[in-house]
Chain A
Amino acid sequence: MLNNNINQLEFPTYMGEKFEKLPDDLFIPPNALEICLETFSGPLDLLLYLIRKENINILDLDVSNITDQYLEYIEMMDALKFELAADYLVMAATLAEIKSRLMLPKDSFEEEEEDPRAALIKRLQEYQRFKIVSEKIAVLPLVDRDTFIASAKKPEIKIDNHHEINISSEELYDTIREVLSRPNYKTNHLIDFEELSTQERIQILLNFLDKQNIITFSKTLKKNEGKKGVVVTLLASLELAKDGYVELIQNKSDELFLKSKQV
């Protein structure tokens, strides 16, 4: 079959001498034909190629002839250990079936039975539509092949996110144990602003006593501070008395006096 195919090729003429057979020492790379066969995108593509080679209209498809050629290709593919896609074999079977039906005498057809080639021709036509249009799309200018986008390059900011973690299971265990044994720091503490602070009042009283040696307790009070103010001032006075900064004096008039003990 292979030789048969080679005989169909046209041989070149070299220096007026026509080559009728391939030179014995001609080296044909074993994959040469394989590459050629691989350019067919499927059995329909191969069939269309064969039809076009015959230069006939798809509608005038000579199934008998095409089937022989198709099978020849299939056998060649097989001989070349070209891994045959099952789809090619399915087509071969389809062609053989159509061919055998066409060989039956005409009157054995039932009246309404359609041309056995019709379905195949329809498929070939449909495939051809998309084959043609895909070839047109393939030559449209394509970005990054025929068209290049102009752009200012975005600066590459490299952030190394992939720190290698190298830790043994013991270390991991120790770490989690340590984390779990940590005291719970999540307890909330609400810190209130102290409206009237004893400490602050002590300072105020001391300021008073800086100016005059003796003051009346009631004069250090502020009206708007109310009872709380009295308590805080009393606490501050007692604190000062305890530490020996002032002397508290009370006479019969119920009035309390603060007398500086400092010289």
Chain B
Amino acid sequence: MDIKITNIVEAILLGAGRPIRISEMRSILENDGISVELSDIKKSLNILEERYADTSLEIIDVASGYRIQIKNEHSASLSHLWNEKTPRISKALMETISIIAYKQPVTRGDIEDIRGVTVSTKTIRDLLERNWIKLSGYREVPGRPALYVTTKDFLNDLSLKNISELPDLPESIDNKDIDLLSKAV
């Protein structure tokens, strides 16, 4: 494998500062007059991964492509460097995004039914601003409420490749259990 291509791939990953697809890397290389196969870039990524094994860097494969990042074990040092605390994500926001993630597409009403509390406009706006959710359409019922789905950025931010990689949703209650209740009364 050409070391030059591996180094260009590394440079692109660093320059991107976001996940980037192999195909996108190939077109950048082609613009430089370097013609490679997708498999060559994949090999370069493997070489980089090996090279990074003893360093603070790693390459991971997320929803929108490959990303170069600092290993989580060093995050604390960076937090000290930047001396900044990322604002805590509220319980309400986490519950809302979870319901959207597992039940999508959902309306605000669907979320409220499960959470038993009004979903504030701020929560939805926060999620939209984070680019974690997007509008996917409107439910064809009176009032045509907006339907929301999660985005690739949501998965990227959680370092996931696919929505199925989210933790399993606990089993829902059996109707049998509900029936048993009647006897208990």
CA distance A141 to B95 in the complex (A): 17
Give the residues in chain B near A41, CB-CB below 8 Å.
90-92, 95, 115, 117
Chain B: residues with Cβ within 8 Å of the partner, total of 51
Chain A: residues with Cβ within 8 Å of the partner, total of 49
Do A134 and B94 touch (CB < 8 A)?
Answer: yes
* B164 to A: closest C-beta gap in Å: 13
Contact among A43, A137, A154 for B98, CB-based, below 8 A:
A137
CA distance A222 to B157 in the complex (A): 83
* A92 to B: closest C-beta gap in Å: 12
Do A141 and B116 touch (CB < 8 A)?
Answer: no
* Interface members, chain A 131-158 (any B CB < 8 Å): 131-138, 140-152, 154
Give the residues in chain A near B89, CB-CB below 8 Å.
138, 142
Do A152 and B15 touch (CB < 8 A)?
Answer: yes
Interface-facing stretch out of B27-35, B39-47, B66-74, B140-148: B66-74
Give the residues in chain B near A126, CB-CB below 8 Å.
114, 172-173
CA distance A85 to B115 in the complex (A): 13
Do A131 and B95 touch (CB < 8 A)?
Answer: yes
Query: What residue in chain A is nearest B82 (Cβ atoms)?
Result: A148
Give the residues in chain A near B70, CB-CB below 8 Å.
147-150
Q: Which 6 A-B pairs have the closest CB atoms?
A: A42-B117, A151-B17, A134-B98, A44-B116, A125-B173, A136-B167
Per-residue CB contact flags for chain B residues 73-85 toward chain A (1 = under 8 Å, else 0) read 0010010000000
* Interface members, chain B 123-158 (any A CB < 8 Å): 156-158
Other 13 A-B pairs with CB < 8 A, given A87-B117, A149-B69: A59-B181, A85-B117, A114-B178, A127-B115, A130-B98, A134-B95, A141-B72, A142-B89, A142-B157, A148-B70, A149-B68, A150-B14, A151-B17
On whether A44 and B115 interact (CB within 8 A), knowing A115-B181, A134-B94, the answer reads: yes
Do A42 and B69 touch (CB < 8 A)?
Answer: no
Q: Does A128 contact B (CB under 8 A)?
A: yes
Contact among B94, B115, B170, B173 for A137, CB-based, below 8 A:
B94
Contact among A87, A102, A132, A151 for B116, CB-based, below 8 A:
A87
Contact among A86, A106, A122, A138 for B178, CB-based, below 8 A:
A122
Query: What residue in chain B is nearest A135 (Cβ atoms)?
Result: B94
Q: Does B18 contact A (CB under 8 A)?
A: yes
Do B185 and A115 touch (CB < 8 A)?
Answer: yes
Give the residues in chain B near A146, CB-CB below 8 Å.
72, 75
Interface positions of A (Cβ within 8 A of B): 39, 41-45, 59-60, 85-87, 91, 102, 106, 114-115, 117-118, 121-123, 125-138, 140-152, 154
12 intermolecular pairs with C-beta atoms under 8 Å apart: A39-B91, A41-B95, A121-B181, A126-B172, A130-B99, A130-B114, A133-B168, A143-B156, A145-B86, A148-B75, A150-B14, A154-B15
Give the residues in chain A near B16, CB-CB below 8 Å.
151
CA distance A135 to B89 in the complex (A): 11
Give the residues in chain A near B170, CB-CB below 8 Å.
128-129, 132-133
Interface positions of B (Cβ within 8 A of A): 11, 14-18, 57, 67-70, 72, 75, 78, 86, 89-92, 94-95, 97-99, 101-102, 114-118, 156-160, 166-173, 177-178, 180-182, 184-185
Query: What residue in chain A is nearest B57 (Cβ atoms)?
Result: A150
Contact among B14, B72, B91, B180 for A45, CB-based, below 8 A:
B91
Query: What residue in chain B is nearest A149 (Cβ atoms)?
Result: B69
Contact among A39, A129, A142 for B158, CB-based, below 8 A:
A142
CA distance A129 to B114 in the complex (A): 10
CA distance A15 to B91 in the complex (A): 39
On whether A149 and B18 interact (CB within 8 A), knowing A45-B91, A59-B181, the answer reads: yes
CA distance A114 to B180 in the complex (A): 10
Give the residues in chain B near A148, CB-CB below 8 Å.
69-70, 75, 78
Give the residues in chain B near A130, CB-CB below 8 Å.
95, 98-99, 102, 114-115, 169
Do A140 and B158 touch (CB < 8 A)?
Answer: yes
Do A125 and B172 touch (CB < 8 A)?
Answer: yes
CA distance A39 to B94 in the complex (A): 13
CA distance A255 to B120 in the complex (A): 106
Do A151 and B178 touch (CB < 8 A)?
Answer: no
